[in-house]
Amino acid sequence: MSARFAAAVCALILLPSITLAPARAQISAGPCSRPTIGLALGGGGARGFAHIGVIEWLEEHHIPVDMIAGTSMGGLVGGMYAMGMSPGEMRALTESIDWEKTLGPGPSYADLSFRRKEDRRDLQVNLEFGLRRGVSGPSGLRSGHEVALLLDRLTVAYSEIDSFDQLPTPFRCVATDMTAGEAVVLKDGSLSQALRATMSIPGVFPPVERDGKVLADGFLLNNVPTDVLKDMGADIIIAVDIGTPLGDKESVQTLAGMVGQAWSVMTIQNVRRNLRLATVILSPDLEQYTSLDYQSSGRIADLGYAGAREKQAILAPLSVSDAEWDAIRRDRQSRLRTGTDTPLFVEVRGADAASNDAIRAKLERYAGTPLSPDVLEPELTALTVSGRYESVGYTLTRRGTKPGLLVDVQQQRSGPPFLRLGLEANGAEPDNVRLKLGSRLTLMDAGGRGSEIRTDLAAGSQYLVSTEYWRPVAGRLFVAPRLFYREDSRDLFQQGSRVAEYRVTERGAGLDAGLASGRKSEIRLGYEWLHMDAGLRVGSPVLSSMEGSVRSAVLRWQYDGRNNPVVPTSGTRSGLVARFYQAAPGAERDFLQLQGAVSTFRPLSPTRTVFAMVSGGTTFNRQAPLAQQFTLGGPFRLGAYSLDELRGNAYVVANVGYLKRIGQFSALTGMTTYAAMWLEGGGVFDGQEGDESASSLSSGLVAATPIGPACVGASLGDSGNSNLYFVLGQVF
């Protein structure tokens, strides 16, 4: 009689005593060998951290796990345990991860190149289309790059195993073949890729292409894979179901409730089917947590521990003696891999030949040095900030006996070229609302590697057509010629009342030369020529002339060290523009204009931030034509006044404020709301109505939304002025 057959016979004898009379079970007694125990871990997003607590309880009570099968987050936790991580190590890891960054839309804002920062800052709708094969959207809301790097780091020691049976604990995870509509059991190949596939939530993360299949999250077809353990030969199956239960009539009356119910309905049948195969079913009480509560990993793990403890009477008979437990642990330790060979070469795959060569040349210095993820991963992330690559990961490989570093590049599936959209709206009165729809088309490597053609289009309160050709010439030096056409409205006020509205048209060209100083700053020196004319649309003709040529030399410096362009919680942004006008309609002579701004954000806690913003400008006591004067009024620029109500040859405005995060839907959605309060003070000087200064107290709600940042606020001025206003688009 074979050992496996004996174990199976023994299990058949003992299962009734385990489920019906656990106190009398003697699993390891008699001639029977110990039955094999399989652990099936279900998917459920952040609720899957409960699996860590379950494993912790099993280990404390010397209940061995001989094989593991998991789906989605169950696949990740199961994979970590299969690789030899202890429950304590898994707890420490999940609590240390910055889930907001890991599950974010791509490389963090701080990691982006300066030009990609401009894209995110100027057009804040988080949606980009590729035009390589017609118009196509992204394959997921999140690139998955940071998740892939996390999995690469966790699995790199097992890069060269032939089968997941070679792990300290045999392991399987489940994905869904999106083209065939079938569940796929992953048992060999790249462990990192397998874990990424089982966790690739459709629509959120891009699918994983593997062995000719397009793979996504396994929860769709097999969320608690007890059948996989049965096929692996498990005699006893412990199933952990952490899925969200179906809601009642009241819970589905909202959009969010209906969407959540739809996901649950999609999986409930396959879960019910597979739970019939389980010997023991654990369902921790996770009612207070959702699948998006990634910041609560420790508390969710505690609930998993409590859920296992509640089934102690059933689980206790599965415990083995101290001696047998020590033998099991030694066996697992013998298959544990903790180190890696020093890579002696670098190989790159996945991109075109030119890109592969360029990346390999950049990373060649890592050949011959011990692999350090802390050093390598920022380099790989830096490769993604150009927009050409969706993600860049790594593993180990061999050429004969020679170990090497294999860098796996996932190119953007749909571009370049890329089309990015923007939406801006602001106003305080029904007859003074400004709405603008914008887009940016970016063509890369046009006329040379690293060059870009950027074309901006806008319609609404402003019409814009602008094309810039940006080309590096030596190191960080670049040149940038451009052509543009602008058409927008200019309001004129007298004594607080709007008296006229002019439509101003500008068409011209410019040429800049500059230096890109790393990811955070850029400096440009250039010359700009344009022809300007204005036509009266509403009101009295109060201007003598606004038609003619404008010629100016411009020095521009920008710095952006913030952590987020939408609602920053740390960092500083500043800028300075010096413009020497040689000619302008209405100017009696040339004049110099200087304008600068700085804003800084400082966190007081994870949910509270203080900020200060100061900006100002001057023409150095020279009278500037009306079109070149500074304006104040509107949100964060003396909000108690109408947009651009105050006008003069010099200005200064300052804000100090406080942000309190009051809602965060999840790192996956990126939706966050803040309560804000700020104090404003400033004024214009040398204006048509003399010097005017004011202060106001403002408050409002600021939200990061799928269509960009939004703010609804109110301001009360010191002179009795007040305004209710809204902003959609750039707030800070």
Q: Which residues are catalytic?
A: 72, 217
* CA separation, residue 589 to residues 210, 516, 541, 596 (Å): 68, 34, 24, 23
Three-state secondary structure string covering 167-208: CCCCEEEEEEECCCCEEEEECECCHHHHHHHHCCCCECCCCE
H or E element in which residue 263 lies? helix 255-275
Contact of 484 with 459, CB cutoff 8 Å: no
How far is 469 from 353, CA to CA, in rounded Å?
Answer: 25
**Length of the chain as a residue count:** 732
How far is 423 from 101, CA to CA, in rounded Å?
Answer: 25
Residues 6+ apart with CB under 8 A from 179: 213, 214
The contacts found for 721-727 with CB under 8 angstroms, 24 or more apart, are 721/640, 721/641, 721/694, 721/696, 722/640, 723/428, 723/639, 723/640, 723/641, 723/642, 724/428, 725/426, 725/427, 725/428, 725/634, 725/635, 725/639, 726/425, 726/426, 726/427, 727/425, 727/426, 727/635
**Would strands 722-728 and 591-605 be described as parallel, antiparallel, or unpaired?**
unpaired
Contact of 566 with 709, CB cutoff 8 Å: yes
Three-state secondary structure string covering 264-313: HHHHHHHHHHHHCCCCEEECCCCCCCCCCCHHHHHHHHHHHHHHHHHCHH
Residue type, 430: P
Give SS3 for 567. Answer: coil
**Would strands 462-474 and 477-494 be described as parallel, antiparallel, or unpaired?**
antiparallel
Q: Which of 473, 706, 560 minimizes the C-alpha distance to 118?
A: 560
* CA separation, residue 438 to residues 106, 243, 456, 565 (Å): 22, 41, 7, 17
Paired tokens of 297: 């990993």
Paired tokens of 269: 């049948």
How far is 519 from 113, CA to CA, in rounded Å?
Answer: 5
Q: Is the dihedral of CA 130, 136, 141, 147 positive or negative?
A: negative
Contact of 412 with 442, CB cutoff 8 Å: no
H or E element in which residue 226 lies? helix 226-232
Strand-pair partners of 69? 40, 172
The contacts found for 462-470 with CB under 8 angstroms, 24 or more apart, are 462/434, 462/436, 462/486, 462/487, 462/488, 463/487, 463/488, 464/438, 470/115
How far is 222 from 379, CA to CA, in rounded Å?
Answer: 37
Contact of 481 with 470, CB cutoff 8 Å: no
Helices marked H in 70-159: 73-82, 87-96, 99-102, 114-122, 145-155
* CA separation, residue 3 to residues 31, 36, 227 (Å): 11, 11, 22
H or E element in which residue 5 lies? helix 3-20
Residue type, 264: S
Paired tokens of 281: 């079913």
CA atoms within 13 A on the CB side of 435: 5
